[in-house]
Amino acid sequence: MARDRKRYAMVIDTRTCVGCSACAIACKTENQVADGHSRVWIRTLTSGWYPALAMTVRSERCNQCTDAPCVRVCPTGASYYGPGGIVLVDPDKCTGCKACIAACPYGARFIDPATHTADKCTLCVHRLENDVPTTACQEICPTESIHVGDLADPSSEVSRLLAERDHYTLEPEAGTRPNLFYLR
Amino acid sequence: MKRREFVRIGSTATATALVGGGLTTRWFGLDRAALPQPGTDGDRIVPSFCEICFWKCGILAHVKNGRVTKIRGNPRDPLSQGHLCPRGAAGAGLLYDPDRLKRPMLRRDARGSQVFEEVSWDDALSEVARNFERIKREWGAGALVLFSHGYGGNWMKHLFKAYGSPNIAEPSFAQCRGPREVGFDLTFGSGVFSPEPTDMMNARCIVLIGSHLGENMHNTQVREFAQAIRNGADIITVDPRFSVAASKSRYWLPIKPGTDLALLLAWMNVVIGEGLYDREYLDQYGYGFDQLRAHVAPYTPEWAYPRTGLDPDLIRRTAHVMAGARPATLIHPGRHVTWYGNDAQRSRAIAMLNALLGSWGRKGGFYLPAEMELPPYPYPGYREQGAPAADRPQPSDYPLADELLTQGLCEATIPGLREQPGVKGWMINGSNVLTSIPNPAQTRKAIQELEFLVTVEVLPSESAGWSDVVLPEATYLERCDELLVPAYRQPYVAVRQEVVPPLYDSKPGWWIAKELASRLGLGDFFPWKDGMEYARERVHAAGLDCDVLQRDGVILGQLQPIYFEEGAPAAFGTPSGKIELYSQRLASLGFDPMPTWHDEDVEDPPPGYYRLLFGRAPVHTFGRTANNRLLSDVFPENEVWVNARVAAHWGLKDGERVYLKNQDGVRSTFSAPVKVTERIHPDAVYLVHGFGHTAKGLRVARGRGIDDNELVTRYKVDPLMGGTGMNVNFVTFVREADAR
Amino acid sequence: MTQEITSTRANPLIDPALSVWHGEVALYLFVGGLVAGLMVITGLWMLRSSEGPRSRALSLLPWAAPVLLSAGMLFLWLDLENRFNVWRFYFAFRISSPMSWGAWILLAIYPASIALAWNMTPGDLQAAALRRLPWGPWLGRLGQCAMNHVRRVAIVNVVLGAALGIYTGVLLGTMAARPLWNSALLGPLFLASGLSTGAAFLLMWRLDEVERRLLGRADMWLILAEIVLIAAWLGDLAVRGAASRDAAWLVLGGPYTTAFWTLVVTLGLLVPLAGEWLEHRHHGVPGRFAATLVLVGGLALRWILVNAGQASGWAADLAAR
């Protein structure tokens, strides 16, 4: 069993993201996400009092954590680390116990009403592992704010962006070591 | 049982279980899970261009087993460059909308009752042709009006011209872009049209005054806006609402609604007064500078402060930032600019400020777009001419309007409102007039007076619900339309072709027009076999390969110089041949030759009322996407944005549902949730347009949210070009409990 | 500094607040805890007194363990979204997943609790059963094997019972995503509560006076332990950080406050504690009333924890609407 040296990560520039939801719709149609459910969503955070205001706009999804509580808590091994550390769900093994959903600090998972198993962003692993270098959300984004690549490669775009720009992850105090980075 | 036996059996069993369990799990990694394979890549990928909004981005539609699985941007297309907005990506939500119109229908009960009977195309078209002929015979061709919106309307416009009626109107003129076309045309001799020639990707300063890019989701504009941000451009946003664009701006000017012209005049005052204008540029191309200097002298930032609520210091500082970046400074013309009735003059002020900073024809400002040369189809000349346009009371009214006024055509339909014989029949194609033309009560009244109303539509809209004949048009993914030859920084031609055959009994617009034409004896104006043959002939006549066009979706033309410094012609279609800071034309027509502020132009909201402002959400296009199941998942219903202090005063909670009632006592049909926010001026409330649908057939959209258009019961008409200023209505809150 | 947070996500069961586990899970937690208590108490009984149970009731009550546990497992199975994949639990052992431990513990409890119940069943009933059941002789040999290892069977029951009682608390307690649960004290709390409800369950039946008094005293100490653990758990949450304090607020002023303090603390702990102490002082015999309250309190505690725990989260996870 060869261990992958790749470490896939996603970097999103909040400076240019306008929160249009093209990412969410592209994901829905690429991955046939069930009606009424989304793997990708937009969150806005506004602070201040009129007219001294500031707002952050973020495109969010599963953070593909290095130390994923969902993988840890899964009793059947349905949630596992795939190529490049992407967190994936094998629906054949999933019993729908929902422990992973309760264990995710980001609320990124849900139950797919068609298969009755846990579902979430797969970082378009079917594209990345088939020589298509972009995820569906990355490809469609009109502001080109989404970047995906191999963090283990210092020359990759994601590595370069993280080296050059100030960035953060969501809820680092949850201790999950997310691989979705937001550029300030 | 002996202990040894027990132990032996027990341990064997346990060991087997463990090994077996381990063998079949990740623990030993021998049971590999198959990677998820959604399988949405098409076995056929067909290029076309989108029609969910009016930008017309090039798309690639993936078809798998005869079904459109997903839509992506066409990397070859200059407008989309492989990217799409959420609406374009959700095209399958329109194509497979179960509420789509399926078969032609004839009205069987009172108008508006939405009771129809499905009939054959032959019967429906015969009914339409019969009425068209009768109206022409009894009242003249001018008594028939076409309301059209969208690129598919080109076939019908051609039919109407062949038929002899000049009364073709698009709501986008008087209800949307019209004022800025006039304002820029008066100044530079050219409108800005669409796509706007805004060179944002090279700009070093962008001023958004009445534009909410990022929520207004015109793909290319947002992409260039993001590029400008990446390039470190300074963004200045003027908006009573803290928009997404405002959140990315260096300066946000929370202006009092209705006072934008005052700010523009004050900026001009600073730029001229402090000598920050582009002297060389104006010496070469400008006309009327001295008059302008004298005119703006009293409009100081201190004068503007009590009117706009903006600190004079801030006005000066932002003027300095703008001027510091010239000529790569772009004051965006906006898009929907029909606000207060003085909109053409306000747009002209924007044009003039651009001129002062030397941005027209310059890199980072406005480039001069180039178009590919494609000869038009060799139709016979339109035989019937001379019927009068019916959209204004006097031909001399609104002299600067170069398109027809939709609301004027409505008025012409109501007997007694006009002197000359009125309009008797309407055809509506791709426009929902009841939600796009303000004062819908008048539109409904006009509809009641009609002798005949036919609607060509994809969805069972409100307008379709009032019609006598409803013709189901195929969606943009199921039809061929007019070739797209836009004026843009990169000239090109794009084709719209059938991705999948029309569903149900829907037909493409070219077929409907052609069939009607043959029934009206106008068949020689539709000599081609089908839409694709029409396109093919035009493409060949231009010396291009149609197979390549159909395979790639676009054919690029030769790049032309787009800036003056590249050699683009510095010619201005104004009377003086120069950039008119002082407009001779306006003066001769008796209007202010330079925009002038009148304090009485702005009214304050009555106590307890708030100015109703409206705008866009990035996942919706007006009211036409509210039923799209993919998009309504993300944004199912609009909300009433209420300033937090105002909400506290009224005791309104976030998420509480309210109705809105306007100054004329008109209450919204449905309620919407309140969004208590700091992001809106305390004088105003804000709604995303396009909700509150009443059409029975729109099962997802019906009853969701508030229709802002039904609250726009009054509007101020722009005297220059007839635009309907709609932001002049004030609303108060009606709680759900009080509404019963 | 105000924070307006909006989210376009509206996934069923997740938004606006997490709601994936409901009555089934609360019921299982209650039943599981009760069975754990049963096993530990009856196992300890067998270990301390060589003659075995004094009352007929106590000698037969251990059979309740596998029966009740089956009910609990039924609740668990009903909670699964993909029920017919349940066998997958038994094709894996995930050392990092307390739920996986639980699946195997539950399986192992069947032979262990049946063996203990057999050992405690009076001889005449054993003989009568063997005569009636199919494969009687073969079952008889199995039963004899259990009878030959009374101490070992009892120890296995105590260990497995404790494991059953504590693992659900560990499962919830290790979820960093749910601050209300995220405490090392939850495991011991569930164990103490389980033991207490196990004792209360036994007290509902017609036991011998000695048995009643012993159980009553044990239950008193168990309730005291529970009170200490709850106080420690809440106190810890209240001082840890913003997310934990918000979580603690759910029962300290928030929507679950009344239910928690009346059903769990007052009726479920303090009143029975007082009752049992009074009985103990006056050498009376604890009645069914206190036991019922303990059971009600135990169920209420589980129900509140399951629901309030899902309502607790990290700030960014809570959408404004």
* Contact status of B680 with chain A (Cβ, < 8 Å): yes
Contact at 8 Å (CB) between B613 and B642? no
How far, in Å, CA of B350 to CA of B192, rounded? Answer: 12
Range from A95-104, B62-71, C210-219 carrying the lowest mean pLDDT:
C210-219
**Residues in chain A closer than 8 A to B200 (CB atoms):** none
pLDDT mean over A42-52:
95
> In whole angstroms, what is the distance from residue B453 CA to residue B465 CA?
10
Q: What is the pLDDT of residue B459?
A: 97
Phi, psi of C42 (to 5 degrees): -70, -35
pLDDT at C56: 87
Give per-residue pLDDT as tens, B146-159: 999 999 999 999 99
**Residue reference for tokens 């239950």:** C219
Instruction: Please determine, for residue C317, whether its predicted confidence score (pLDDT) is greater than 80.
Output: no
Question: What is the C-alpha end-to-end distance of chain C, expressed in Å?
Answer: 19
Query: Where is pLDDT greater, at C199 or C1?
Result: C199
Mutate to test the interface with A, among C3, C4, C5, C11 (most CBs of A within 10 A): C11
Q: Is residue A15 in a domain?
A: no
Question: Residue C319's pLDDT is what?
Answer: 35
Q: Which residue has the tokens 């210092």?
A: A154
For residue A109, tell me if it sits in a domain. yes
Q: Which domains does chain C have, with CATH numbers?
A: 23-317 (1.20.1630.10)
**Helix, strand or coil, per DSSP, at residue B484:** strand
What residues of B are in contact with residue A54 (Cβ under 8 Å)?
247
Per-residue burial over C299-319, b if 16 or more Cβ lie within 10 Å, else e, is bbbbbbbbbbbbbbbbebbbb
Domain boundaries, chain B: 1-33, 192-369, 603-739
Largest CA distance in chain A: 58
Please provide the size of chain C in residues. Answer: 321
What does the pLDDT average to over B572-583?
96
- In CATH terms, B192-369 corresponds, of 3.40.50.10800, 3.90.1310.10, 3.40.228.10, 3.20.20.70, to 3.40.228.10
Backbone angles phi, psi at A88, to 5 degrees: -125, 165
pLDDT tops 60 at residue B15: yes
Statement to judge: residues A72 and A104 lie in one domain: yes
Token look-up 């908006």 returns B239
Range C205-224 average pLDDT: 90
Contact assignment for B619 to A20 by CB distance below 8 Å = yes
Is A130 domain-assigned?
yes
% residues pLDDT > 70 (chain B): 98
C99–A36 C-beta distance less than 8 A: no
Q: What is the CATH number of domain B603-739?
A: 2.40.40.20
Residue B26: is its pLDDT beyond 70?
Answer: no
Indicate whether A110 and A137 sit together in one domain.
Answer: no
The predicted model gives C165-183 an average pLDDT of: 94
In A, which residues are within 8 Å of C3 by CB distance? 45-47
Q: Is residue A3 part of a domain?
A: no
Contacts C13 to A, Cβ<8 Å: 98, 101, 110-111
B714 has a pLDDT exceeding 70: yes
* Portion 16-75 of B in contact with A at CB < 8 A: 25-27, 29, 31, 33-38, 40, 69-73
- Report whether pLDDT(C67) > 50: yes
For residue range B630-640, what is the model confidence (pLDDT) as tens digits? Answer: 999 999 999 99
Tens digits of per-residue pLDDT, B30-43?
Answer: 466 788 999 999 99
Q: Which residues 76-135 of A are in CB contact (within 8 Å) with B?
A: 76-77, 80, 82-83, 88, 90, 92-93, 122, 125-126, 129
Q: Does one domain contain both A113 and A74?
A: yes
Does pLDDT of A128 surpass 90?
yes
Mean pLDDT of C23-35: 97
b (16+ CB within 10 A) / e for C145-184: bbeeebeebbbbbbbbbbbbbbbbbbbbbbbbbbbbbbbe
A117 with A127, same domain?
no
C121-146 pLDDT, tens digit each: 998 898 888 888 888 888 888 888 88
What DSSP element (H or E) covers B226? helix B219-230
Looking at the structure of chain A, the number of domains it has is 2
Q: How far apart are CA B95 and CA B629, in angstroms?
A: 11
Which one of B22, B655, B678 has the shortest CB-CB distance to C93? B22
Which pLDDT does position B30 carry in this prediction? 47
Residue B268's contacts (CB-CB under 8 Å, 6 or more residues apart) are B292, B296, B299, B349, B352, B353, B356
Which two tokens mark B2? 């002996």
Q: Could you give the CA distance from residue B567 to residue A120 in angstroms, rounded to a whole number?
A: 54
Same-domain pairing of A150 and A111: no
* Band of pLDDT at residue C315, cut at 50, 70 and 90: low
pLDDT in tens, B385-415: 778 899 999 889 999 999 999 999 999 999 9
Would the pLDDT of B18 be above 80?
no
Using CA atoms, how far apart are residues B519 and B516, in angstroms rounded to an integer? 5
Asked if residue A105 lies in contact with residue C313, where contact means CB atoms within 8 angstroms, the answer is yes
- Compute the Cα dihedral for C178, C183, C184, C189 and give only its sign: negative
> What's the pLDDT tens digit per position in B358-381?
999 999 999 999 999 999 999 999
C3 in contact with B, Cβ within 8 Å: no
Q: Is the pLDDT of residue B649 over 90?
A: yes
Q: Are B367 and B563 in contact (CB under 8 A)?
A: yes
Chains that touch B (3 or more CB pairs under 8 A): A, C
Size of interface B-C (CB pairs under 8 A): 38
Chain segment B680-704, per-residue pLDDT in tens: 999 999 999 999 999 999 999 999 9
Res B22 pLDDT > 70: no
Task: Please report the sign of the dihedral spanned by the C-alpha atoms of residue B309, residue B313, residue B314, residue B319.
Answer: positive
Could you tell me if residue A87 is inside a domain? Answer: yes
What pLDDT does residue C231 have?
97
Residue B91 in contact with partner chain A when CB distance is under 8 A: no
pLDDT for the residue numbered C286: 65
Whether C12 has its CB under 8 Å from any CB of chain A: the answer is yes
Are residues A95 and C99, on separate chains, in Cβ contact within 8 Å? no
- pLDDT surpasses 90 at B467: yes
Of all helices (H) and strands (E), which one includes residue B72? strand B67-73
Domain that holds residue A82: 34-39+66-121
Predicted local distance difference test score (pLDDT) of residue C195: 97
Q: What local confidence, expressed as pLDDT, does residue B493 receive?
A: 98
Confidence of residue C16 (pLDDT cuts 50, 70, 90): confident
Please give the single-letter amino acid code of residue B467.
S
* Interior/surface letters B261-270, b for 16+ CB within 10 angstroms, e for the rest: bbbbbbbbbb
A132 and A97 within one domain: no
- What is the reported pLDDT for B559? 96
Region B67-83: mean pLDDT is 97
Average per-residue pLDDT in chain C? 91
Query: Does pLDDT of C285 surpass 70?
Result: no
CB < 8 Å from A in window 394-413 of B: none
Whole-Å CA distances, B454 to A119, A168, B145, B167, C285:
47, 57, 11, 15, 89
Please choose, from the candidates A56, A120, A54, the residue with its C-alpha nearest in 3D space to the C-alpha of residue A90. Answer: A120
Please report the sign of the dihedral spanned by the C-alpha atoms of residue A75, residue A77, residue A82, residue A88: negative
Residues of chain C with pLDDT > 70, as a percent, come to: 95
State the pLDDT at residue A42: 97
Asked if B389 contacts B404 with a C-beta cutoff of 8 angstroms, the reply is: yes
Does residue B447 carry a pLDDT above 60?
A: yes
Query: Could you give the C-alpha distances from B423 to B175, B382, B442, in angstroms and in order?
Result: 20, 21, 14
